[in-house]
Structure 1
Amino acid sequence: MKAKISGNIVCRRVSAAKGQWKEVMIMKKAYRRIFTIVLDSFGVGAMEDSPQFGDVGVDTLGHISESVEEFKIPNLQKLGLANLHPIRQVKSVEKPLGYYGKLREASRGKDTMTGHWEMMGLWTKKAFRTFTEHGFPPELIQELSRRTGRVIIGNKSASGTQIIEELGEEEIATGHLIVYTSADSVMQICGNEETMGLENLYRYCEIARELTMKDEWKVGRVIARPYVGKKKGEFRRTANRHDYALKPFGKTVLDTLKEAGYDVISVGKIYDIFSGEGITEFQKSQSSVQGMDQTIELAGRDFHGLCFVNLVDFDVLWGHRRDPVGYARELERFDVKLGELMQVLREDDLLILTADHGNDPTYSGTDHTREKVPFLAWSPSMRGGEKLAESENFAVIGATIAENFQVEMPEGTIGTSILNKLK
């Protein structure tokens, strides 16, 4: 008996009467909806090349576990997370509900855009530029000052909350413009909503995005960072952040899904990461808990296609701020919402949980960490899972989604589907 596969159709030769053979077509299992949730920065151990990125012995999940006494994540446990990676407080389970494995990153980087773009098939061979050590070049700062009409202050690598505490009063009093960077390929611009105004802040960021398209100044994202308050101790960043990201350098699986007429719904900062390319509907989130609530609400709707979610609080609130206890508590809050989502998913839904990089909250500095990421897959129609072989790239996710919906991987992309393994 022989079989050949094309898309979701299996053509199988079976015996017929009088020694004859006939070919019958059997539909492989296809999911009507796929929910892909990215736990931003949730790494599960160092990549083999992590020392090249300045990361030695990093392990986001492992070190979070070592930093807390209690760690209650029963739904992640059921899906096989503790089978995938040892967790001091959480036992592995004999029969995980889902399929579990680790993904290595092929691209040269450890940032948000590189990780998400690779999930959808793009292999970034050259890392985005960073300006962590010395700030942005004087020529760029001078041109930004000339175009905005404001004196630039800051221009260094800093925590967003700390630099507002340091320079917020000066910005309010003088009208100067706070510009800073981080370990990522990013230019961030702060503005007080009450004195500068959101529209002005956004306009300055648009100018900065135009300037940083030059090769020697090119950054992955320009981010508007609005805040409110009048003096130190009262400053608070608001939810009106806006990212001005580079467009993906090629077509992704999101584009082919949209072109084929499928729904591609994004939650959180997915829309910004892909500059809206390939998205049919988007919802911004003010927190990871809200992002999960939005996802649960979307699960109650009838759509056909992909729901792509980013939960950023793990990274922004706890990873960069080097707070392993806060990270653990955020994971516990997520686990509760995960249980609620699992209750409302349908038999023909597929849930994929993953991450875009690591951010070990016990490591030195405030940068992302070069790590492998988890891959957990579950559907209510599954009757148990098993361990998957470690993948050489994140693009296994996009390739699996593409095969499920019978769309072609765009030209020049990477990734091999494992849809046939998710039984």
Structure 2
Amino acid sequence: MGRFIVIVLDGFGMQAMKDAAIVRPGDENSSTLGSLLHDFPDLKLPTLEYLGLMNAFGQESRAMKFSSSASFGRCELMHFGADTFQGHQEIMGTKPKKPEVHDFQQKIYEIEKILLSNGHQVERLGEKGLEYLLVDQYCTVADNIDSDLGMAYNCTAPLDFLSFDQEMEIARLVRSVVFVNRVIAFGGTGNTIEDILKAEQVREGKYIGLLASATKSYEQGYECRHLGYGVDPSVQAPMILGKASIPVSLFGKVADIVHNEYGKSVSMVDTAKVLDLTIEEMKTMEHGFICTNVQETDLAGHSQDPLRYKEVLEIADQKLRQIVELVNEEDVLVVMADHGNDPDIGHNKHTRENVPLLVKARKEGVDLGLRASLSDVGASVCDYFGVEAPENGTSFLPLIR
């Protein structure tokens, strides 16, 4: 009986992947950790240092050294680009499929057609040639302008006027006819459709959407679901474990973006609170899988705020010390990331970087090397619990047990 715990420090990359210049031009010099060490040479993260952060990075800093007891490695991203949603699907064992990139104008007719044919009321807003949809008076369907342009469409609604289930019905229809990375349905209570429409913005002259932070959706009653391209939850670790009656608990942003039909999912942003929730879960769970996403590192990267990034890491490091203290000889703890988000790179998007793979388990001092996919974690989770393997990944469990 034991636990497999995965902590994802969202956006905490190490250095640019070898294909970054081709796949993500501009990211070839990125290094999230490197930038933070440049800005704060005396940065001290004692728990991450103990777990092998500098070993994985490949060099010591002024304040942090190699750890002789650490089991460590790095993971490449198999998914296209650098994406939180696809990164977490990959972690759970999905073999990523390359999505298409389309501005909303290229798909507006097909989306409008499928919605009308299923009995929905549809109105076009904006100007001719740069339009988006208002469905059933309360749900906008448009470009996602908060992340990589052309990679996602948003369905946004005020949930006092349109239920989230109704919004999800619209989102699923949109998902059925488009091949972009994500269709994101979200909304909150206490706002109105007028609040959402006031958030209209245009990017690069061809992307039109509603700036999420300006829609007042986050202020109360927030609900969100990400519908990904080529994602089959039945071949992911949470669903496989759940069907085998093994407890699964997802905390933080991972609860919003990973399907967990049989387990517990709690969405939360605050770093201290989400890690406290993880600690409490570890105190009561004797056997099962826990995955927690620390989102505020990623948010600091998006804000291009290295000081805030440093502060979040320090909070996370303190809480990780408590988590490490609760790990017993039967457990496996993994601390990793899903992509980079270099706060000094000069843009506010994710960066395509190798990510750390820091492992605490029975066997110490193991170099896990450069893993070809984040899915090696999902494969190791399933291997640990003796269930069928997920769709993708190579287990590293034999190396650490």
The alignment's TM-score, normalised by the length of structure 1, stands at 0.75
2:256–2:267 Cα contact (<8 Å) kept: no
2:9–2:335 Cα contact (<8 Å) kept: yes
The change in CA–CA distance for 1:222 and 1:140 in structure 2 (over 3 A counts) is: farther
Cα deviation per residue 1:174-197 (whole Å; 9 max; x = unaligned)? 989584413163223455xxxx44
Q: Structure 1: which 5+ residue stretches go unaligned?
A: 1-30, 156-170
Question: For residue 208 of structure 2, what is the aligned residue in structure 1?
Answer: none
2:37–2:43 Cα contact (<8 Å) kept: yes
**Higher radius of gyration, 1 or 2:** 1
Alignment RMSD = 3.5
Asked whether 1:183 is paired with 2:148, we answer yes
* Pairing partner for 2:99 from 128, 132, 153: 128
2:188 & 2:28 partners in 1: Cα distance? 35
Q: Which amino acid aligns with 1:188?
A: N
Asked whether 1:362 is paired with 2:340, we answer no
Cα deviation per residue 1:314-364 (whole Å; 9 max; x = unaligned)? 22x212222222111111110011112222333322111111112222223
Question: For residue 327 of structure 1, what is the aligned residue in structure 2?
Answer: 309
Question: For residue 222 of structure 1, what is the aligned residue in structure 2?
Answer: 184
Q: What is the CA-CA distance between 1:76 and the residue it aligns to?
A: 0.5
Question: For residue 367 of structure 2, what is the aligned residue in structure 1?
Answer: 387
Question: For residue 26 of structure 1, what is the aligned residue in structure 2?
Answer: none
2:165 & 2:242 partners in 1: Cα distance? 30
1:213–1:219 Cα contact (<8 Å) kept: no
Q: Structure 2: which 5+ residue stretches go unaligned?
A: 129-133, 200-212
Question: For residue 93 of structure 1, what is the aligned residue in structure 2?
Answer: 66
Q: What is the CA-CA distance between 1:407 and the residue it aligns to?
A: 1.4
2:138–2:161 Cα contact (<8 Å) kept: no
The change in CA–CA distance for 1:68 and 1:344 in structure 2 (over 3 A counts) is: same
1:178 & 1:103 partners in 2: Cα distance? 35
1:77–1:90 Cα contact (<8 Å) kept: no
The change in CA–CA distance for 1:286 and 1:148 in structure 2 (over 3 A counts) is: farther
Asked whether 1:349 is paired with 2:319, we answer no
The change in CA–CA distance for 1:386 and 1:175 in structure 2 (over 3 A counts) is: closer
Q: How does 1:31-46 map to 2 (within 5 A)?
A: 32-46=2-16
Question: For residue 287 of structure 2, what is the aligned residue in structure 1?
Answer: 304
The change in CA–CA distance for 1:65 and 1:302 in structure 2 (over 3 A counts) is: same
The alignment's TM-score, normalised by the length of structure 2, stands at 0.78
The change in CA–CA distance for 1:148 and 1:123 in structure 2 (over 3 A counts) is: same
Question: For residue 85 of structure 2, what is the aligned residue in structure 1?
Answer: 113
Question: For residue 269 of structure 1, what is the aligned residue in structure 2?
Answer: 253
Q: Which amino acid aligns with 1:210?
A: R
1:348 & 1:176 partners in 2: Cα distance? 48
The change in CA–CA distance for 1:197 and 1:416 in structure 2 (over 3 A counts) is: closer
2:51–2:360 Cα contact (<8 Å) kept: yes
Q: What is the CA-CA distance between 1:217 and the residue it aligns to?
A: 5.4
> Identity of counterpart residues, as a percentage?
25
Asked whether 1:238 is paired with 2:226, we answer no
2:283 & 2:127 partners in 1: Cα distance? 46
Q: What is the CA-CA distance between 1:280 and the residue it aligns to?
A: 1.7
Q: Which amino acid aligns with 1:238?
A: E
Q: What is the CA-CA distance between 1:286 and the residue it aligns to?
A: 3.4
**Count of matched residue pairs:** 365
1:362 & 1:135 partners in 2: Cα distance? 33
SS at match of 1:363: coil
The change in CA–CA distance for 1:207 and 1:259 in structure 2 (over 3 A counts) is: closer
1:189–1:205 Cα contact (<8 Å) kept: yes
The change in CA–CA distance for 1:38 and 1:145 in structure 2 (over 3 A counts) is: same
Q: Which amino acid aligns with 2:64?
A: K
2:330 & 2:47 partners in 1: Cα distance? 20
Question: For residue 213 of structure 1, what is the aligned residue in structure 2?
Answer: 175
